[in-house]
Structure 1
Amino acid sequence: MRTSIIGLSATLFAACMATPALAQEEPAKPITVSGNATVVSDYRFRGISQTDKRFALQGGITVTHESGLYASVWGSSIDDYVAAGGDQELDLIAGYSTTVGAATIDVGVLYYYYPGSGGANTDFFEPYASVKGTFGPATAKVSAAYAPKANALSIGNGKEDNLYTALDLSGGIGDSGFGLSAHLGHSFGPSYLTIGDEYTDWSLGATYTTGPVTFGLSYVDTDKSLYSPSGRNISKAGVVFSVGAAF
C-alpha cells in the first residue's frame, strides 16, 4: 500500500535547481516526512474490489530515518462487506529498507486495522519482504507477504494463515512523465484473504506525472469468481482510474 515519492523528489530537485549557485547546500535531514492523497475509481486489493467497484478516497503519511527505518499510516474507504460492516481500512506499517550492491531490500510488518468493525475479529498482522533492482530504464521487484494464523483470516476452520507472492515490473519513458507497470501475484489459501481456494491476480498500468500530481490507468484481473452481497463480481476484470498528489 505504500506509495512512491517520485513526485515529491522531482519537486525538491526543481527547488534545488532554482537556488542561486553561490548559496550553500543545506545538509540532508536525518528524518523526512512525505505524504499522499488519491482518488481511485475502484480500490482493488490483490485483484479483488474492496469498494464493490465504486470510488475510494485514500491517503497516507510516511516518516523515514536516514538509517533506512520508516513508519507509515495509510488509509482507504471500503465497502461494509470487507470488515464486518466497517467503512475504513487503516494500514499501520513499520519497516527497514537498505541497498546492497544493485539491490534494494525492504522488510517490515503491516497491521491491517478496521476501526468500524464493532469489535469483530477483522484485524491482523502481515510481515513482508521484497528485493528490487533496476535494469536500464526498468525496475523489477520480487516480494512476499505472510499473514500468520489468526482468527481474522478464518473461513470456518479455526485460525488460518495466508501467503502472497508477487512480481512487479515498472519503468519510465524518458523524461516524458509517463510510466508503465505490470504486476503478477498469487494468493495461497484457503483463508479470508482468498475466500476459499488460492488464486492469481495480474494488472497492466500506465501513469502520467506532472509536478506532484500523478494520473493513473490500469487493467486489473484475476482467475477467481467472487461476488459481493450486492451481486457484483468483485474479482472480474476491470479498468481502474486514479489521480493522486504527493507532498
Structure 2
Amino acid sequence: MKKKLNLCLAGLLFAPWGASQAIELNKDFSLALNAALYSQYWSRGISQTQGDPAIQGSATLLHSSGLYAGVWSSNVDFGHGSTTRQEIDYYLGYFWQATDDVSLDVTYYEYEYPNQSSFNYSETYARLTAYGAYLGGYYSDDLYSDQSSLYSFVGYETKLPADIGLNLRYGWVDYKDPLFIDSSGRGRDSYNEWQATLSKEYLSLNWSVSYVDSDLSESECFNYSGFDDVCSSSLVFGVSKSF
C-alpha cells in the first residue's frame, strides 16, 4: 500500500507572487499571506482528502528582483493506515515579468509529510504565460524505487463579464512505469486530467467553483490509490483570502 500512497501525492498550481494585497516590509521585500477553505483538496486528477474538506494556507516572502521563497500547507488523508495528516511544501523560485502580458515562473519544491517521511519528495516547476494562455510542468526524479514523474499542462485564464474569472486547464500525468492497471490487467504509465474554474471577488474574499475530472477508470483509480471514487468528476468549492 505504501507504493500506491507514495504516488498519490500533491503539487499545486498557484502563484505566490500574485497576491495583490501583499504586506510591504520595505522597498525591496513584501510578504504575501493566503488562507483558504476548499470542499476537498484536489490535485492532478485525484482527491488528496478522500473528498473531505481541506484547510490550506501559505506565506511567501517576495523580493523586488522577482525572487521568492515560502511555505504552503494543507491537511491530507491518504487512508489505508497512513499516519500523516498534513502536507507541507517549501518552495524557492523566480518570477520574471517580461511585459504586462508575458511572464515566466521557475520554482523548486520540497514536499514533506510529517510522521511519514517516506512520502517526501521534490520537484522542479516552470510556467510560461502569454496573453492569458499558459503552459508548463512539474518534474520529479526522486520518488520511490527510482520512479520519476512529469506533470505537464496547458491552460487559459481570462475575465468574463461581471468581473468573473475563468481558468481552463488540461494536464497530462506521466510516470516512468505503467502504474495504472485496469480491470483486465492492462497497464499504462500516464493519464489525463482537466479542470474548469470560475471565481469571483466578493466581500473581500475570493469565491470559486471548479469542475474537475480525469480519464482514470474506477479500476485504474483503485489499483493506483486504493480507492475507486477519488479520481472521478467532481465539483470543488473554495473560498480564500489574501493579505
Question: How many residues are matched?
Answer: 218
Change in Cα spacing, 1:108 to 1:5, as seen in structure 2 (3 Å) is closer
Partners of 1:162 and 1:132 in 2: how far apart? Answer: 23
Partners of 1:67 and 1:145 in 2: how far apart? Answer: 23
User: Which structure features the higher share of helix residues?
Assistant: 2
TM (norm. structure 2) is 0.81
- Of 193, 200, 210, which aligns to 1:208? 200
Change in Cα spacing, 1:193 to 1:130, as seen in structure 2 (3 Å) is farther
Structure 1 position 125 matched with structure 2 position 111:
no
Between the two proteins, what is the percent identity of the paired residues? 29
Partners of 1:109 and 1:238 in 2: how far apart? Answer: 29
1:85 Cα offset (Å):
2.4
Q: Which residue of 1 aligns with 2:216?
A: 224
Structural mapping, 1:83-122, within 5 Å: 84-101=82-99, 102-117=101-116, 119=117, 121-122=118-119
- Of 46, 57, 73, which aligns to 1:59? 57
The answer as to whether partners of 2:209 and 2:238 remain within 8 angstroms in 1 is: yes
Change in Cα spacing, 1:107 to 1:199, as seen in structure 2 (3 Å) is same
Change in Cα spacing, 1:82 to 1:146, as seen in structure 2 (3 Å) is farther
- Of 143, 150, 155, which aligns to 1:168? 155
1:133 Cα offset (Å):
1.3
1:83 Cα offset (Å):
9.5
Partners of 2:211 and 2:94 in 1: how far apart? Answer: 31
Change in Cα spacing, 1:82 to 1:179, as seen in structure 2 (3 Å) is farther
Unpaired stretches in structure 1, ≥5 consecutive residues? 13-25
The answer as to whether partners of 2:50 and 2:78 remain within 8 angstroms in 1 is: no
The answer as to whether partners of 1:162 and 1:193 remain within 8 angstroms in 2 is: no
Structure 1 position 46 matched with structure 2 position 44:
yes
From the CA coordinates, give the structure whose radius of gyration is larger.
1
Partners of 1:28 and 1:73 in 2: how far apart? Answer: 21
Change in Cα spacing, 1:65 to 1:27, as seen in structure 2 (3 Å) is closer
- What amino acid maps onto 1:237 in structure 2? S
- What amino acid maps onto 2:102 in structure 1? A
TM (norm. structure 1) is 0.79
RMSD over aligned Cα atoms: 2.6
1:82 Cα offset (Å):
8.8
The answer as to whether partners of 1:141 and 1:169 remain within 8 angstroms in 2 is: yes
Partners of 1:116 and 1:3 in 2: how far apart? Answer: 28
State the Cα deviation string for residues 180-235 of structure 1 (Å, max 9, x = none): 11010001114699796211100111001125311110100001131354x44111
Unpaired stretches in structure 2, ≥5 consecutive residues? 1-11, 182-187
